[in-house]
């Protein structure tokens, strides 16, 4: 894996790691609806199941569950590792081509530092470099983490 196939982003929030972790699981409260399968008009809710073998997913307004990928590691208050199951064309990705999002929750005197590491982006195949550029840019992970921080 090349360094170019990774994106790192971080944000600090004024709550303890356990509270930040719990809030992060509630995607429907903070995830930008434009960044979902259903889009702004169709997005109803989103969740992360906090156990290995679970899923992170959205629910559309019809109640359909649309998985984003598997939960690979869940250590409450400390760490989440999620399979990124969204293909470059915003359709479900096959498991062999999923990238991985590793999120660490580190205690600070003033709250929590959330460090996100999206790796193995090249697994998505041809076109992954433009995906990397988008997720690294201001409308990618920095925007998503800022939306989370603003929700607290």
Task: Please tell me whether the overall predicted TM-score, pTM, comes out greater than 0.75 for this model.
Answer: yes
> What mean pLDDT do residues 62-71 have?
96
Q: Contact 55/71 with Cβ under 8 angstroms?
A: yes
pLDDT tens digit sequence for 79-108: 999 999 999 988 999 999 999 999 999 999
Q: How confident is residue 68, by pLDDT bands cut at 50, 70 and 90?
A: very high
> What mean pLDDT do residues 139-144 have?
96
Helix axes 17-25 and 141-151, enclosed angle (nearest 10) = 110
> What mean pLDDT do residues 20-40 have?
96
Q: Contact 121/99 with Cβ under 8 angstroms?
A: yes
SS3 6: coil
Pairing of strands 65-75, 55-60: antiparallel
Distance from C-alpha of 72 to C-alpha of 111, rounded to nearest angstrom: 25
Contacts of residue 130, Cβ cutoff 8 Å, sequence gap at least 6:
88
Place of tokens 């899923």: 55
Contacts of residue 110, Cβ cutoff 8 Å, sequence gap at least 6:
12, 14
Place of tokens 């929700």: 151
Which pLDDT score, from 0 to 100, does residue 2 have? 55
Q: Contact 99/118 with Cβ under 8 angstroms?
A: yes
């Amino acid at each position: 894996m090349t360094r170019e196939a990774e994106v790192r982003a971080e944000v600090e929030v004024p709550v303890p790691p356990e509270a930040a972790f719990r809030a992060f699981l509630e995607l429907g409260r903070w995830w930008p609806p434009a960044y979902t399968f259903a889009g702004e008009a169709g997005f109803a809710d989103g969740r992360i199941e906090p156990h290995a073998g679970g899923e992170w997913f959205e629910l559309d307004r019809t109640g359909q569950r649309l998985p984003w990928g598997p939960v690979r590691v869940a250590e409450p208050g400390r760490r989440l590792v999620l399979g990124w199951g969204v293909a470059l064309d915003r359709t479900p990705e096959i498991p062999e081509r999923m990238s991985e999002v590793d999120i660490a929750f580190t205690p600070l005197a003033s709250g929590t530092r959330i460090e996100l590491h999206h790796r193995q982006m090249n697994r998505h195949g041809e076109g992954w470099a433009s995906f990397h550029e988008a997720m690294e840019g201001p409308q990618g992970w920095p925007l998503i983490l800022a939306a989370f921080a603003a929700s607290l």
